[in-house]
Amino acid sequence: MENWQLYPKPAETKEFKFSWIAILAFYILVIGGALAIRTLTWPEGKPVDTFLFLIQAVVAPFMIISTMLGYIFMLAQSDVYFRDCKKSYYDWRLYNTKVYARKYLVIADWSSVTPVKDIALQMLKLEGEFPLAPKTPLIIGSGEEFETTKAQQILTKLIAPLSEKLKKYPGFDVTFGLQGVDETISDGLIKIFQEQGIVVGNPITCLTECPDYSLLNKMITESERHWNYRHLLIIIDLHNDEESKFMENASALFICNDYPQNERPKPVFLFQPLTSDQDLSETTPVFIDTQPSKPQKTLWHTGLSQSEKYPLFSVLGEKNVAAQRLELDLSLGEHSAGYGWLALVIASDAIRYAQGPQLVAASEKNKPGIVALSSEQPPKLSTPDIDDYAIPPVAIALVAAFLAVFGTLLGWIAYVGVPDYFWLIIFDVLVIIISGVIGWKLTVAAQEEAYDAISRSHC
């Protein structure tokens, strides 16, 4: 299940502070008064027992004040702990979302076949000027090889640039997404692999139509279970009639998570896509804020409806992300399902041409998906610092109970004499239990109230 929702960020917690000057003055006043009273009431003619005098006049009053302050601090800390619980829920939700966003696939290599060469360079205006539709060529030209079909010729052109990588990292799975092509084309693909000495791991999976980006989510989940996950994804998107106005295209992405980081050319990291059915205006800000890479420079998009496109643009504008936005449908012709995968190849080309991190958005059947790509592996993520959170009331309650127990023992010795240990133990146990229960109740109540408060504001 996707996790592109966050609790609203709570307000900064103000640290509760006693007025230490007032507390010190209170200590001095009470202990000074106790010293004066004990001095004036000490029996005449009786030698001063220094130990007893100090316990009665200084230690006992000090323990009584400290115990009172401990319980007061426990009550005051409940409010601070409540606010810190809200912060903790937010911090951990943000951390888990960042962990989710950092999941990725390693694109070791890629290729594409289209009627226009070097699409990325031309659309980025790095080389030449891209011919906008309807002047854009729509048909991939076929050669004069009469023994092979047009689709087989396209497959050969698609696999040839990847052959060295595929031979170096054999045993990969193959997923074949077909649009306007018969499933029997997979036999031609097997023949191409055999001719080039490429070893395939499992039978080829043929999809009768182009998948959407939810396939990437599935691949990321599968890659987490294998240390040497290798997968070749091929998308063929050809005309099946003469009336089509989209540009024919074919794309291939070789996913290889055991591809060495120092190998050349460098791989591209494809991070966890956003393929949620929720409103893009709600999920995109979270998606952008939790990305591990630098802000993306360019957005490549295709198939977005007006209700998807403009909320996305609005969020990107607010976040100062992807100021350059290139729509494939305007350049290549009417939208087709293969454009979303071609956009990933073009964006990967842009990264290889040193154009920085890229963003791709595509929508099929009103199901939008957004993918971030980068040449940089995500940095290590630190867990929230628990030292930043307030001490729970139950901990302070136990300290207060200890002060009460110790103060009771000293007070009994000082004012009564040798204590009755049976009743003293009974009293101390009751103090510890009652204090612990009150502190625990305050702690749990603060946690539940904080969770309810932040959940209500999230809804």
Q: Are 265 and 349 in contact (CB under 8 A)?
A: no
Digit-coded pLDDT (tens) for 102-155: 999 999 999 999 998 888 998 888 887 777 767 788 888 876 655 678 888 889
Digit-coded pLDDT (tens) for 318-328: 999 999 999 99
Q: Do 291 and 430 sit in the same domain of this protein? A: no
Instruction: State yes or no: pLDDT of 2 exceeds 70.
Output: no
Q: Do 451 and 340 sit in the same domain of this protein? A: no
Q: What percent of the chain has pLDDT over 90?
A: 37
DSSP codes of every residue in 357-413 = -EEEEEEETTEEEEEEEESSPPPPPPPP-GGGSPPPHHHHHHHHHHHHHHHHHHHHH
Give pLDDT, residue 238: 87
Give pLDDT, residue 1: 46
Q: Do 71 and 47 sit in the same domain of this protein? A: yes
How far is the C-alpha of 398 from the C-alpha of 396, rounded, in Å?
5
Instruction: State yes or no: pLDDT of 363 exceeds 80.
Output: yes
Q: Of 374, 399, 432, which one is at a domain's C-terminal end? A: 374
Q: Do 92 and 121 sit in the same domain of this protein? A: no
Q: Of 342, 374, 406, which one is at a domain's C-terminal end? A: 374
Using only C-alpha atoms, what is the Rg of the chain? 35
Give pLDDT, residue 362: 95
Q: Do 85 and 200 sit in the same domain of this protein? A: no
Residue 11, domain member (yes or no): no
Residue 301, domain member (yes or no): yes
- Which domain CATH number covers 323? 3.40.47.10
Instruction: State yes or no: pLDDT of 459 exceeds 60.
Output: no
Q: Do 299 and 363 sit in the same domain of this protein? A: yes
Q: Do 343 and 403 sit in the same domain of this protein? A: no
Q: Can you read off the two tokens belonging to residue 187?
A: 């036999």
**Whether residue 260 has a cis bond before it, omega within 30° of 0:** no
Digit-coded pLDDT (tens) for 255-290: 998 888 778 888 999 999 999 777 888 899 999 999
> Domain total for the chain?
2
How far is the C-alpha of 363 from the C-alpha of 214, rounded, in Å?
11
Give pLDDT, residue 87: 87
Reported pTM: 0.82
Residue 9, domain member (yes or no): no
Q: Do 79 and 172 sit in the same domain of this protein? A: no
Cβ within 8 Å of residue 93, ≥6 positions away: 6, 7
Digit-coded pLDDT (tens) for 219-236: 999 998 888 899 999 999
Q: Of 324, 341, 374, which one is at a domain's C-terminal end? A: 374
Average pLDDT, the chain: 86
- The amino acid present at 100, given as its one-letter code, is Y
Residue 448, domain member (yes or no): yes
Residue 436, domain member (yes or no): yes
Instruction: State yes or no: pLDDT of 446 exceeds 60.
Output: yes
Instruction: State yes or no: pLDDT of 50 exceeds 60.
Output: yes
Residue 311, domain member (yes or no): yes
Residue 384, domain member (yes or no): no
Q: Do 366 and 397 sit in the same domain of this protein? A: no
Residue 381, domain member (yes or no): no
Q: Which of 393, 424, 454, 441 is nearest to 81 (CA)?
A: 393
Q: Are 411 and 45 in contact (CB under 8 A)?
A: no
Domain that includes residue 453, residue range: 20-99+391-458
How far is the C-alpha of 105 from the C-alpha of 83, rounded, in Å?
38
Q: Do 363 and 411 sit in the same domain of this protein? A: no
Q: Do 94 and 162 sit in the same domain of this protein? A: no
Q: Which of 101, 88, 92, 103 is nearest to 3 (CA)?
A: 101
**φ, ψ at 42 (rounded to 5°):** -70, 130
State the greatest distance between any 2 C-alpha atoms of the chain, in Å, as a whole number.
129
Q: Do 252 and 400 sit in the same domain of this protein? A: no
